[in-house]
Structures are given as C-alpha cells and as structure tokens.
Amino acid sequence: MITPPAWPQLWQPPGAMGWVLPHVAEVNLWHIVLFAVLGLVIGSFLNVLIYRLPLMILRNEEPETTAFNLKTPRSHCPHCQHQLHWYELIPVLSYAVSLGRCRHCQQTISWRYPLVEILTAGLFCLCLLKFGFAWPALLASAFCAMLLALAWIDAETFLLPDALTQALLWVGLIGSAMSLTPTPLMHSLSGAVLGYGLLWMVSWGFEQLAGKEGMGQGDLKLLGGLGAWVGVWSLLPLLLLASISGLIFGVSQKMRGQLGHNGHFAFGPFLAFSGFACFFLGISMGA
C-alpha cells in the first residue's frame, strides 16, 4: 500500500531562511546581465501599469470616445503628447541621454521612470542570487514586479487594483503548489485566508469603534496575496512591521502638517515593504 506524503503541519514553523544568498556561486555574469536586462524591460512595462491602470479604473464608468488601455494610445510625452520613437523608450538610457527632458517640448520627465526600472532590475538580480538560475527565480521576480507596481500605484492614487492583487494571490498559490516558492502549500493557503481575515477583523473593529472606514478593501486583498507568498507564520511579523513603519510615517507627516485633511495615507507601500522583508529575509515566528 502506497502511503501519500504528509502535508506540512500548520503548527510546525518552517524555520527562518535568514539573509542568505545560497546560489551566488552558481550564478555567472551572463545570468546577472540577462536578469538585469529583463528587469529593466519589465520595469518599463511597470511604468505603463503605474500610470495607466488607475486611469483605466477611474474611467471605467465614463463613456469614452477613444480607446484607452495598456497598449492604446502609444507611449507619448505627457506634456506635448508627442508619440515616442523606439529609441526614446530604451530603459534608463533614453532618460539619461535626454537629461530627463522631453526631446520635443523640453519639459521635465518624472524621475519615477528610471527609478522603477532600476529598482526592478535590482530586485530581479536579487531573486537570481537567492534562488539561482531556475524557475523559482523567475516566479520570485514576478512577485517583486507585482508588489512594486502595487506599492507605487497605492502611494500615488490610493488604489490597489484587483487585477494585480488577484494575480499576486493566485500566482503565489500556484507557485507554492508546484514547489516553486519556499512556502509549503498548506502554509500558503492558510496565509492567504488568514491574511485577508486578519485585516478584515481589524478594519471591522475600527469601523465599529470610530464610526468610519479605516482601511480599504484593497489592503485586505494585498495582505491575502502576501500571505500566499510568505505563509501563515510570517503574517504577524509582516503586519507588525508594516504597522510600526506606517505609524512612524503617519506621525511624522502629521507633525509636518502634510497628512491631509482626512488623516489618511496609503498603507499598501508599508505592506509591500514588509512583504519584501519577510520574503527575502525569511522573517517568521519560527525558529
């Protein structure tokens, strides 16, 4: 009789991975160059997502005379609307050559574009060194790309699009089921359920006490997606780190008079920062 393999027990912590890069010796220069270039290209696409996806959501209920999506209209200068040629779309290099200005109207181009591209390339290389030149590194890179886009969109627009939070959740669960992430499937499933439920209880409790909504539904979905990647044992450290960093930011903004009239600020970037820390550092309640 064949005995099926036992699933990891929820009460058994996986143990902290720690800040280690176990595959450094297996990675060569060409691997690093490949992941860096891939990161720059994906980072360029993330800039499109960050700019257009919120506009697509906000325009969803309005009648449109012209198509507006991720590919239409073509990339253009936000000031003079000039369509950009292919040589004006090379990640980082085009920005550097043009000195951060449009070649046609000479208006300043946001520093967000090269920064997102560089950050994405750096995160992709970190995934390569962490997981080696294999599928888990690509999946971890997808995690980083989605999380970076979500954090930036929330910081700028207070939106966390379902298209990205749901992708974060399902890619994490599928990756765990295929053993392409360091999180066992039972921990991933439990982390997703508890991640959403934990913030829902906090949000519900705040609403009952204060009589107003304290947290958006997007934050709940984001923590559920993060739970699928880091697992149930990393949820509390993740939420604690996000809450402390968010509290420090909120107090500092309040003291500087920059918090806004409603006292709200985007919590998504702090969840994302904590998600990166728990994923790469292996922060959990396990030994």
Q: What is the pLDDT of residue 271?
A: 93
Check if the beta carbon of residue 117 is closer than 8 Å to that of residue 145: no
- The SS3 of residue 6 is coil
Q: What is the pLDDT of residue 1?
A: 45
Question: What are the domain boundaries of the chain?
Answer: 22-133, 135-287
Q: What is the pLDDT of residue 4?
A: 47
For the chain of 287 residues, list the mean pLDDT of each consecutive stretch of 10: 48 51 76 94 93 83 63 73 72 80 78 93 93 92 96 92 94 93 89 85 70 72 93 89 88 76 79 92 69
- Give this prediction's pTM: 0.85
Q: Is the dihedral of CA 166, 170, 175, 181 positive or negative?
A: positive
Of 178, 159, 195, nearest in space to 274 by CA: 195
Q: What is the pLDDT of residue 39?
A: 96
Q: What is the pLDDT of residue 5?
A: 46
What are the φ and ψ backbone dihedral angles of 76, each rounded to 5 degrees?
-150, 165
- The SS3 of residue 163 is helix
